[in-house]
A = this chain, B = another copy of it.
């Protein structure tokens, strides 16, 4: 399947499963999802910085879906290519070579959303 479809499929799966999870009657889970949304709002630190923090945290913890999500959010927030790579370099040095495979997939994801000249494909879904 094409790369474009892979991003779309990934986004749809996330969207569908988040709805499924939130439809369950579990208040702790729901509140956690709400809190996750609230975390990245503009505040003393601008949204852009917070998304970069979320991105680097996701990279050193090596979660591909979270990395894709925060790359899309960072792109929305105006992070440019040089800034992305400086954030990547922090993640690489702190987290080590074990981060490299995730860096490759992250750069590939970034290439896809940049190449397509579209807005973030996950912009309407707020949960990682």
Interface residues of A (CB under 8 A from B): 13-14, 17-18, 20-21, 24-29, 31-33, 35-36, 38-40, 43-45, 49-50, 52-54, 56-66, 80-83, 85-101, 103-105, 107-108, 111, 127-128
- Once A26-B86, A54-B94, A86-B43 are accepted as A-B contacts, the answer to whether A36 and B100 lie under 8 Å apart by CB is yes
11 further A-B pairs in the complex, CB-CB below 8 A; given A26-B86, A32-B93 = A20-B111, A26-B85, A28-B35, A32-B89, A44-B83, A56-B56, A61-B94, A93-B97, A95-B95, A95-B98, A100-B127
In the bound complex, residues from chain B placing their C-beta under 8 Å from that of A56 are: 53, 56-57
- Once A87-B45, A93-B32 are accepted as A-B contacts, the answer to whether A21 and B104 lie under 8 Å apart by CB is yes
Q: Separation in Å of the A54 CB from the closest CB of chain B?
A: 6
In the bound complex, residues from chain B placing their C-beta under 8 Å from that of A101 are: 14, 63-66, 128
The reply to whether A29 and B89 contact each other, CB–CB distance below 8 Å, is yes
